[in-house]
A = this chain, B = another copy of it.
Amino acid sequence: MKANQFGQLFCVTTFGESHGPAMGVVIDGCPAGVHWRQDLMDRFLERRRPGGRAMTSARQEPDQVQILSGVFEGKTLGTPIAAVIYNRDARPQDYAKRDARQGHATDLWQSKFGHSDPRGSGRASGRETVSRVIAGSVARMVVEQLVPEVRTFAWTEAIGSIALDHQPEDLLAQDPWEVDKFSLRCPSPDKNRQMEDILKKAAESGESYGGSVALRIFGVPQGLGQPVFLKLKNVFSDAIMSVGATTGFEIGEGFLSAGQNGSQFHQATQDYGGLRGGLATGSPIALRVAFKPTSSRGEVAKTGRHDPCIVPRAVPVLEAMVWLVLVDQLLMARLDRI
């Protein structure tokens, strides 16, 4: 089986247990001649790091990535790109009381594979996403050369009942990474502060919160996507719902459109969220993702290094998955016509 593999043509295999020796990724199918941007990869990793934002996990992960293959003199070789990050900050003892972490599925993994891995629930840990972010940064390097105008924006839309109910137009006119100026990645000073408040209390009381992330993808060429099982919409859904703690996914109006009639919908909608028949329309693609509250609460949450809400940290992970989908589909599009 290829359960740890994503992508048809830009094929990513991730590996690593959160408290084992290392995390990593191998990319098979990256074209030769891609201008290597280590700065971009470092930026992607920096954005994923918890450090600096008090609201989220206190775990410090240096995340110094080593490129083991596939890159030479600033360009990709066309051979597999392997990258690895050694886990230096493993403290398994913190995880001893893991019974209290209901949502983490350690028990399920144990019953499945018939063994007990005390190392941070193995692959089910959020640590696993570091491999996705590495791969996503390479995906972006490729997309950048193929279709330079593609940009992704993502932000914290809601944490618990605090929600940003409009699209942040100012932000969308700027650098996608401006959102990082907000501690919880909610691009509204007011809402971000309210979120800070509830998370500060949650950290003290051992509470946790769910939330949602909004994504916008600009510049995707019209017609991108494949029939019928590799439509852009279900591949996005697949990519995003594979991230831990996600519980819902929407395109455009999503569940709101379910309550509409055609006259309302086909006139009012933002061009169907940028997708029609599963293909890109050329308009901005709009996605929304729901996250359940994290499962570590109470005493464990206070002594361990868990986030009271993972939504802000999920932002760059979701973006990474979007880049993986885009690169794969852009390569597929080279095969559309004779």
Interchain CB contact under 8 A, B258 and A337: no
A38 at the interface (CB under 8 A from B): no
Contacts of A34 in B (CB 8 A): 338
Contacts of A104 in B (CB 8 A): 276-277
Q: How far is the CA of A180 from the CA of B239 in the complex (A)?
A: 34
A177 at the interface (CB under 8 A from B): no
Q: Which secondary structure dominates where chain A touches chain B?
A: mixed
Stretch in contact with the other chain, from A43-51, A56-64, A110-118, A184-192: A110-118
Contacts of A211 in B (CB 8 A): 258
Query: Known contacts A1-B335, A242-B234, A242-B278: does B257 contact A292 (CB below 8 Å)?
Result: yes
Contacts of A33 in B (CB 8 A): 113-115, 337-338
Least CB separation from A129: chain B residue: B228
Q: How far is the CA of A149 from the CA of B222 in the complex (A)?
A: 34
Interchain CB contact under 8 A, A17 and B77: yes
Question: Quick one: CB contact mask for A1-38 with B, threshold 8 Å, 1 for yes?
Answer: 11111101101011111001111101011011110000
- Most B CB contacts (10 A, CB to CB) among A34, A73, A336 go to A336
A residues 49-104 near B (Cβ < 8 Å) are 66-70, 72-73, 75-82, 84, 102-104
The 6 closest A-B pairs by CB, nearest first: A105-B277, A208-B262, A238-B238, A32-B113, A248-B254, A262-B293
Q: List 18 A-B contacts (CB under 8 A).
A: A1-B335, A15-B80, A15-B82, A17-B72, A17-B77, A17-B79, A24-B26, A32-B338, A78-B337, A103-B277, A210-B258, A212-B255, A234-B238, A237-B241, A248-B254, A252-B292, A258-B291, A266-B293
* Extra contacts besides A72-B115, A109-B277 (7): CB < 8 Å: A5-B28, A6-B229, A16-B82, A24-B26, A32-B338, A34-B338, A255-B290
